[in-house]
Structure 1
Amino acid sequence: MNAPGRARLLTVAELREALGPDKVGRDLAYAIARRYGVRLGRRLLVPLRVAEAIAEGRMEELEKTPGPPPRGR
């Protein structure tokens, strides 16, 4: 997944493509982006390392990373 010249931030559509659109639906991809991604303007972007961790089954690594507490409605 980590090829030279590859973007370090993925859009939601790119995240689905990287993880397999048959495995990750649109709603799940947006949930992942809201939880682990960043918002730049109106765009939700997910770090490539998050997609790699999900693909490799290393979710505990994501839970240990420091960051702001989740915000929601």
Structure 2
Amino acid sequence: MDVERKLLTVEELRRVVGKDRLGRDAAYALARRYGVRLGKRLLVPYRVVEAILEGRLEELEKTPRGEAWGR
């Protein structure tokens, strides 16, 4: 995967985290909560993926939305 990309699709999110660790429904729930919608596509910022992998997802709850998304 190209780490330079800032946004990942739900399937790319599952591939990075591990499909055995993150089910399809949970991945879409995360994308709806933390991601952005471009047209019909749900995309997840890579910063959110990093937070999931590092076990810091709770920190995103405390962070203002713009900062968590890297804006």
Q: Distance in 1 between matches of 2:49 and 2:12?
A: 10
Paired residue for 1:71? none
Identity %: 68
Higher helix residue share? 2
Segments of 5+ residues of structure 1 without an aligned counterpart are 69-73
Paired residue for 1:37? 35
- RMSD of the alignment, in Å? 1.9
Please, which of 45, 48, 64 is the counterpart of residue 46 of structure 2? 48
For residue 57 of structure 1, give the secondary structure of its aligned residue in structure 2.
Answer: coil
TM-score by length of 1: 0.81
Paired residue for 1:19? 17
Structure 1 residue runs of 4+, over 4 Å off?
none
Aligned residues: 66
Kindly state the Cα deviation for residue 2 of structure 1 after the two structures are TM-superposed: 8.2
Q: Distance in 1 between matches of 2:2 and 2:9?
A: 15
